[in-house]
């Protein structure tokens, strides 16, 4: 592991363990944050709520899981997708009920072009956390890659119902709507 990756892993471990409280997709604070996200009026307010949600989603009370996630993120930041996949596989095996481990692995599978595997991981994420706007949007990206635009649009729209202030997701949904409307003529 390079010095940069080691520093990233160390920083991630400190960040993830700094709160002291265990958290994941079952954290009761999420209900309040999702209510706030649904009521905000500005992108800035949405981003604040989103950041807090992501921080909670990324936490796990098992140090081995936290280390596997941090190592995977470091590998991903260095474009080492094979190592990232291996780390996220380990996190999934260590904590099969930790939605963010599945989501991280879904992301790497998407980047590797393993769209069906990514979709399988996303199904698990959404079984654990149906409000996971990142997984919903990721499902849309996979479905675009698999040339299923109507299903992709549905996934993007579901994501926007949870988190209406996702500029990239909104733009993709609008593009798909336009494409589907043009093809309906």
pLDDT above 90 for 167: no
Counting the structural domains of the chain, the total is: 1
Query: Cα–Cα distance between 66 and 14 in angstroms, integer?
Result: 10
136 lies in a domain? Answer: yes
Using DSSP's 3-state secondary structure scheme, residue 102 falls into: helix
- Judge whether 112 lies within some domain: no
For residue 7, is pLDDT > 50? no
Mean of per-residue pLDDT scores for the chain: 88
- Looking at the predicted structure, is the pLDDT value of residue 129 above 70? yes
* Mean pLDDT within 162-180: 93
Instruction: Record the tokens describing residue 34, joined without a space.
Output: 């999702």
Residue 174 resides in a domain: yes
The residue segments making up the domain with residue 180 are 130-185
Q: What percent of the chain has pLDDT over 70?
A: 87
What pTM value is reported for the model? 0.84
pLDDT at 9 over 50: no
Report residue 3's pLDDT band, with 50, 70 and 90 as the boundaries.
very low
pLDDT band at 2 (very low <50, low <70, confident <90, very high): very low
Is 178 among the domain residues? yes
* Whether the predicted pLDDT of 125 surpasses 60: yes
The span from the CA of 19 to the CA of 4, in Å, is 24
> Which two three-digit tokens encode residue 150?
């109507």
Specify the pLDDT at position 182.
85
Cα–Cα–Cα angle for 56, 29, 103, nearest 5°?
35
pLDDT of residue 24: 81
- Let me know if residue 94 belongs to a domain: no
Q: Is residue 155 a part of any domain in this protein?
A: yes
Dihedral class, residue 12 (left if φ above 0, else alpha if ψ from -120 to 50, else beta): alpha
Residue-wise pLDDT for 89-119, tens only, equals: 999 999 999 999 999 999 999 999 999 999 9
Instruction: Evaluate if residue 158 carries a pLDDT over 70.
Output: yes
pLDDT, tens digit (0-9, with 9 covering 90-100), for 35-82: 999 899 999 999 999 999 999 999 999 999 999 999 999 999 999 999
Please check whether residue 121 lies inside any domain of the structure. no
């Amino acid at each position: 592991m390079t010095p940069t990756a080691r520093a990233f892993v160390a920083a991630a471990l400190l960040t993830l363990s700094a709160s002291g409280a265990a958290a994941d997709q079952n954290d009761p604070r999420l209900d309040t944050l999702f209510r706030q996200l649904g009521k905000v009026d500005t992108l800035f307010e949405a981003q604040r709520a989103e950041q807090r949600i992501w921080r909670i989603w990324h936490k796990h009370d098992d140090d081995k899981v936290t280390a596997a996630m941090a190592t995977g993120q470091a590998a991903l930041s260095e474009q080492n997708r094979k190592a990232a996949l291996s780390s996220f596989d380990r996190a999934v095996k260590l904590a099969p009920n930790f939605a963010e481990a599945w989501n991280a692995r879904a992301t790497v599978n998407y980047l590797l072009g393993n769209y069906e595997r990514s979709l399988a991981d996303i199904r698990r994420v959404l079984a654990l956390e149906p409000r996971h706007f990142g997984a919903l949007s990721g499902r849309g990206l996979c479905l675009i890659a698999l040339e299923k635009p109507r299903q992709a649009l549905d996934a993007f729209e579901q994501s926007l119902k949870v988190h209406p202030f996702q500029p990239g997701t909104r733009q993709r949904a609008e593009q798909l709507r336009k494409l589907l409307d043009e093809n309906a003529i």
